[in-house]
Amino acid sequence: DVKVTQSSRYLVKRTGEKVFLECVQDMDHENMFWYRQDPGLGLRLIYFSYDVKMKEKGDIPEGYSVSREKKERFSLILESASTNQTSMYLCASSSSGTGDYEQYFGPGTRLTVT
């Protein structure tokens, strides 16, 4: 089974802190994604990566950056956390080629910024 793990299920940070959210997948997938999910807004794509060291902006990249130094790991970075970044963050991965429609999601990290 594909497994996507996220470093924390719950995280509380203070305004202005630098926050790292880590995601690891064990299926050798080329593609990895970061979403945030807010009530009434659904899932929104922040950034994605289709290869090591490659990244592309999603729909709401402002206030975030990402890092992909190894194929299995994709990090989301909040350079200076703000209260409006309080949200559920979901990581996903998929393979390239004919199976790239199927994204496998992690359990999510609920981040609260106070």
Partner 1 sequence: DAKTTQPPSMDCAEGRAANLPCNHSTISGNEYVYWYRQIHSQGPQYIIHGLKNNETNEMASLIITEDRKSSTLILPHATLRDTAVYYCIVSYLTGTASKLTFGTGTRLQVTL
Residues interacting with partner 1, by CB under 8 A?
A: 4, 30-31, 33, 35, 40-45, 48-50, 56, 58-59, 90, 92, 94, 96-98, 100-108
Beta carbon of residue 23, minimum distance to partner 1 (angstroms, whole number)? 11
Beta carbon of residue 103, minimum distance to partner 1 (angstroms, whole number)? 6
Which residue lies nearer to partner 1 by CB, 13 or 44? 44
Beta carbon of residue 32, minimum distance to partner 1 (angstroms, whole number)? 9
* 59-96 per-residue burial string, b: 16 or more CB within 10 A, e: under 16: eeeeebebbbeeebebbbebeebeeebbbebbbbbbbe
Which residue lies nearer to partner 1 by CB, 17 or 59? 59
Which residue lies nearer to partner 1 by CB, 15 or 112? 112
**Residue from 90, 91, 110, 109 nearest 31 by CA:** 91
